A and B are shown apart, each in its own frame.
Chain A
Amino acid sequence: MRDQASGETPDSSFTPPAANASNERPNQMTESHEPAIVANNLHRVFRIGSNLLRRGTDITAVHDISFSVPRGTIFGMLGPNGAGKTTTIKMLSTLLVPTSGSASVAGYDVQTHERHVRRQLGVVLGGDRGLYMKISAVDNLRYFGNLYGMPKADIERRSTELLETVNLTERASQRVEGFSRGMKQRLHLAKALLHDPPILFLDEPTIGLDPAAAVDLRRAVASLVPDHTVLLTTHDMHEADQLCREIAIVDHGRIVAQGTPGELKARVAGGRRVVVATRQPLNGLADDITGRLRSIETVRSVDQALTESGGSELTIFCNDTAQALDDSLAIVRGYGVTIDGIRVLEPTLEDAFLAIAGGRLQ
């Protein structure tokens, strides 16, 4: 299994406290093989511009989307604005009725068991939405705790713990309207975790955050698994790559590709390459060297260019970077050329996204 948070070590200070550590949930997420979230041909059409005299125009926001999310994992929906990510989350969280198709969350049908679904869910809507600005952070948590029917003692204990977890203890009694965006996002997360839901929907949780705040929040999200299942929507490639075990690339309301980040990257044929920089220009050796490099079995093509420092740069596109690296270094050195630098470039999720979704990101 892929490391859920490779590249950023989860900070233990962000590990959310369990609602009742000594009292395990009967169907604890990690123990069941049933997927936490299942979407079957979810389809949503919006009618716009209709009134008493006009029928209006039908716009399909989500087109027969199907996926399932194993318990205890982070599943990402990656796509440009308007791709249908938020509409999908709305349908899964009972805020929007699908035009057709079905979905279940924690085993409950989202259309027939709405209240059960809501109890199993924590949703981070993001931005300025979803918090009462004129009351304090702790009052927000207290109110939402009451809306979830939590006992008073639990509300107080969880509020204290979670405010500490998201580093808002010192601002707990201040009105939310004075909070920065990052603080609001952290409070959103605390609110979503308050009733200790097994499943979390995070809709663009880091959008608009400064880099440091975004890193903090990603650490917090990474620390949620395997105790929680997370459905994350984002158009941040780096975030999706770091956090998600599986990603669905959504475009124009359809899932155009789905798999682990590694699987998606593997679909990008041209992304894997070795770049060898030489101190001197290759001049007359260039044709010979590139010809020999092209003869390596795993190499697909080779580009040669001059660098600003007066040397040459060989870009070797290949299927196996390790093999290409060994062979190409041996070949170049064999001509007595001094190597100035080597870079091994694996395809990024961005390469995959651009290849799959056709370059439309915003």
Chain B
Amino acid sequence: MSAVARQVSEIGLWWQVVSATSATSFKRMTAYLINVVRIPIFPAGMFLTSYVAWNAAGVEAIDGVNVSGFLLAGMIGLICWSSSVWWSGSAIENERYEGTIAALFLTPASRVAVVIGHGLGGLLYMVPSFAVVGLLGVITGARLNIDSLAAVVLSLLALVASSLAMGFLLASFFILTRRANLMANIIQHPLYLVGGFMVPRDQLPIWLFWLSQAMPIAHAVDAFRASMLSSASLDDVSNALLATLLTSSLFVLIGILGIRKVEHVAKRSGQLDLF
């Protein structure tokens, strides 16, 4: 087999693992009806709480867009972030919790592909949340102002990619601990603020603003919001997309190295606690 054919074959196997993992992960998440019902409640509650709070403060527009539109874009980012924490980030931890981590690690499948598969499955699982938040946006009068569909699509892809990248990094850290669930809770909530989901990032204290600059999803939300609500062109959002790409790449790189290194460390120290 030539090097190219081998590479194509490897990519094919990689995608096979990604798609199978996302499908299986989705099936597991939706095994019980209550899991499907409960999932949109949280973002819907967050949307409405923030919407009422902004209205009570007498604010009608944030950064030149109406509150409802601002929150709609932010909530889509928040849902992606929740997905990345609980599905990509906790992918390995969930396997440990289910007692399948050993069975998984005994296969030759790429761990990276497994984590991405879990992340995609998680995003699929979040589809009802996106729908409910979208519906609330419509009901509360979100005004879309789209000039470049390409900018919207690319921003949306950036949002997905950045959430997977962040989940990726978390996954590598979570392998070493059996308390990933608690750590995920600690990490999840500060990002609501730093990610600019419900408040404009330029209103944050300067140190928090710079911290938010390191978060890929914050840039993706900026690009998505601008392209969807402020008729921003591809050129207008290029800086935000570039920032998403750079920070996401860094997260992915650290995540890949981390997963490899941490798996080895866990096997050396016996911390996978597999059997």
Contacts and interface: CB of A to CB of B under 8 A. Distances in A.
Interface of A: 46-47, 86, 89-90, 93-97, 115, 118-119, 121, 123, 125, 128-135, 139, 142-144, 146-149, 175, 191, 203
Given A96-B267, A129-B275, A139-B24, A147 B31 contact: no
Contacts, number: 94
A115 B31 contact: no
Given A96-B270, A133-B98, A142-B20, A148 B103 contact: no
B99 interface: yes
Interface of B: 13, 16-17, 19-21, 24, 27-28, 31-32, 98-100, 102-109, 114, 264, 267-270, 272, 274-275
A130 B100 contact: yes
Given A86-B275, A96-B267, A129 B27 contact: no
B27 A135 contact: yes
Nearest to A195: B107
Given A95-B267, A143-B20, A175-B31, A149 B99 contact: no
A191 B107 CA distance: 11
Contact of B102 (A129, A142, A146): A129
A143 B106 contact: no
Q: Which 9 A-B pairs have the closest CB atoms?
A: A146-B20, A134-B31, A130-B103, A129-B99, A147-B107, A147-B109, A149-B13, A115-B108, A118-B108
Given A125-B275, A142-B20, A146-B20, A95 B28 contact: no
Secondary structure type dominating chain A contacts:
mixed
B214 to A, nearest CB: 27
Contact of A147 (B17, B99, B268, B274): B17
Nearest to B35: A134
A97 B20 contact: no
A135 B24 contact: yes
B236 to A, nearest CB: 42
8 contacts: A46-B270, A95-B272, A121-B106, A129-B99, A132-B100, A142-B20, A146-B109, A148-B109
A94 B27 contact: no
Given A95-B275, A147-B109, 6 more contacts: A118-B107, A125-B102, A129-B103, A132-B24, A139-B24, A149-B13
A94 B106 contact: yes
Contacts of A203: 275
A175 B27 CA distance: 11
Nearest to B9: A149
Given A95-B106, A118-B107, A128 B99 contact: yes
Contact of A123 (B20, B31, B106, B269): B106
Contacts of A142: 20
Nearest to B12: A149
B272 A147 contact: no
Contacts of B274: 90, 95-96
A94 B266 CA distance: 12
Given A95-B272, A130-B103, A139 B109 contact: no
A135 B98 CA distance: 12
A149 B108 contact: yes
B100 A135 contact: no
Contact of A148 (B24, B31, B102, B107): B107
A46 B268 CA distance: 9
Contacts of A130: 99-100, 102-103
B270 A129 contact: no
Residue from the set B19, B102, B106 with the largest chain A CB neighbour count within 10 Å: B106
Interface centre among B31, B32, B114 (most CB of A within 10 A): B31
Contacts of B31: 134-135, 175
Contacts of A119: 108
A292 to B, nearest CB: 57
Contacts of A94: 105-106, 267
Contacts of A97: 264, 267-268
A305 B272 CA distance: 57
B32 to A, nearest CB: 8
Nearest to B31: A134
B45 to A, nearest CB: 26
Contact of B28 (A89, A121, A129, A134): A134
